[in-house]
Amino acid sequence: MSKSNEDSKSLSVQGQRRDRNRIPSASEPLSPELLKFLRDSLVESHMQMEPPHVFVVFGASGDLAKKKIYPTLWWLYRDGLLPKVVYFIGYARSDLSIEALVKHFEPNCKVKDGEKEQFTEFVKKCTYVMGAYDKPEGFEKLDSVIAELEQKYNGPANRLYYLALPPNVFAPVTSQIKEHCMAGSGGWTRIIIEKPFGRDTATSAELSNHLASLFHEDQIYRIDHYLGKEMVQNLMVLRFGNRLFGPSWNRDHIASVTISFKEPFGTQGRGGYFDEFGILRDVMQNHLMQILTLVAMEKPASLNAEDIRDEKVKVLKSIRPVRVDDVVLGQYVGDPNGKDEDARQGYLDDPTVPKGSTTATYALAVLNVNNERWDGVPFFLRCGKALNERKAEVRVQFREVPGDIYPSGALKRTELVIRVQPNEAVYIKLMTKRPGMGFDVEETELDLSYNSRYTDVRLPDAYERLILEVFCGSQINFVRTDELDYAWKIFTPLLDQIEKEKIPPIEYVYGSRGPREGDELMQKHGFVFTGTYKWSPPQNNNKL
């Protein structure tokens, strides 16, 4: 058995050996076995440690940098997963000292007492450059800072640029990078771009064409953090690593697929930003469509990034544009009896939201993948704010058992559920005999709940996984240009019609399931909801 296979086997059984009395927090180190596996089989094989690596955060003074990027860089540095010679440069328009920048992000790093010395080392590797996003002076200064590091190490630095910025400055920033800040001969340059990637087909194509004029495709990393989530990545293994699912993963056995994203809070004062995009652009066109392609795609020829992305594109090409009749749009209103002030406020009560806005905060869409495997199977994409729970999941509902011999209505549909967040889990809701005399049946589950099976094993944060993959040059979990184009073509006609006709969203109360019309549309297309079963994640205990 090879060394990497031994490490993989070790990872697969570690949950059986560990203490089962607690769930690690997101800021704790990864398990020793996982760290060893990553260092031995991933990091060392993809990254040469000799040249300096420079990670530049554009928008360093912003919310994303403060809450996600800098904490992620710290965790990767702490766990020894970054190159030995690495530096971090923040860039923004704000006049900040390095002390002010560190004070900005340090609370989110959750540094423990035993880590303070290492965190001090991390801070020493951080610096800051102030500059405009559309003028050369700041970029020339940035390049000179990197050049000083290159002189120190007598060689070109590998450069990673993270654009944690509003979309309206993507073009000028990337143009300035190309003009002033590219790596010299022997080094490489990689650009990480946060969504949204345009507002529709035309603006997405404009951005893609602009980037293509400056960089090669293998230099561009369009980050959709949902592709870095553990359970989204598990879809590939569940589908193609288990013979059980292969024969039944088609229109003959599956009645519907539901992909849900629900948040129990509203815009929380960020309504002005949200109103520019709405729930369709903010969640459905990217996060949910990416998950749909992983559920529906054919087995790729290999785990090579291009083989996987080729199959995802084939799915997108098989989906016709969404029509207004296929969609339910909603907008939340306050609950007068809400438990707090947020719950009593509707979307239009947010002072940052334009008066009379018709932007949807809830959307349900029915899509069909018109190919031999999926013809006739509805794919329901559902997302919304201010709903009754926090949940992201994939729910595959199977068809009824033919030749039912049990009392009418006793058997319910089998469902495979992949719970992305919270309480990551894979479970199958199925029928079993009720304990006791006779053959009465009831619903129960076969359950793999991660916080029970893998206690004391911290799952990598999505940003940890994705930023590490950029260092390693892996594009498996990043969006390719043609993926983006085909996904926008599915939604742009709908978005144009909504905006042209000012289609009013249906009101729903804060904390509810959303508009009842959403449930009705799902039932119309064959989804069966009985309301007789609710999954509860198992509680941790000390028993093996």
- Which residues, other chains included, contact 507 with Cβ-Cβ below 8 Å and sequence gap of 6+? 330, 331, 332, 333, 515
**Contact between 293 and 315 (Cβ < 8 Å):** yes
**Contact between 263 and 390 (Cβ < 8 Å):** yes
> Tokens 């403060």 correspond to what residue?
66
| Residue 277 CA, distance from chain mean position | 17
The active-site residue, picked from 180, 253, 287, 525, is 287
Query: On the CB side of 190, how many CA atoms lie within 13 Å of its CA?
Result: 21
Tokens of 356: 């009379």
Which residues on neighbouring strands pair with residue 161, listed in sequence order? 56, 191
Query: On the CB side of 374, how many CA atoms lie within 13 Å of its CA?
Result: 21
Q: Is 287 a catalytic residue?
A: yes
Q: What would you report as the CA-atom Rg of the chain, rounded to the nearest whole angstrom?
A: 25
Q: Which SS3 state, helix, strand or coil, does residue 447 take?
A: strand
DSSP 8-class letter at 387:
B
Burial 214-236 (b: 16+ CB within 10 A, else e): bbeeeebbbbbbbbbbbbbbbbb
Q: Is 110 exposed, middle or buried (0-12, 13-18, 19+ CB in 10 A)?
A: middle
What single-letter amino acid sits at 269? Answer: G
Q: How many CB atoms lie within 10 A of CB 473?
A: 15
Cα→Cα distances 343→76, 126, 355, 369, 514, Å: 37, 40, 19, 38, 14
Q: For the packed helices 70-78 and 462-472, what is the interaxial angle rounded to 10 degrees?
A: 70
Q: For the packed helices 136-153 and 170-180, what is the interaxial angle rounded to 10 degrees?
A: 40
- Which residues, other chains included, contact 55 with Cβ-Cβ below 8 Å and sequence gap of 6+? 73, 86, 87, 88, 89, 160, 162
Burial 15-41 (b: 16+ CB within 10 A, else e): beeeebeebbeebeebbebbeebbeeb
Burial 532-541 (b: 16+ CB within 10 A, else e): eeebebeeee
Q: Catalytic residue numbers?
A: 287
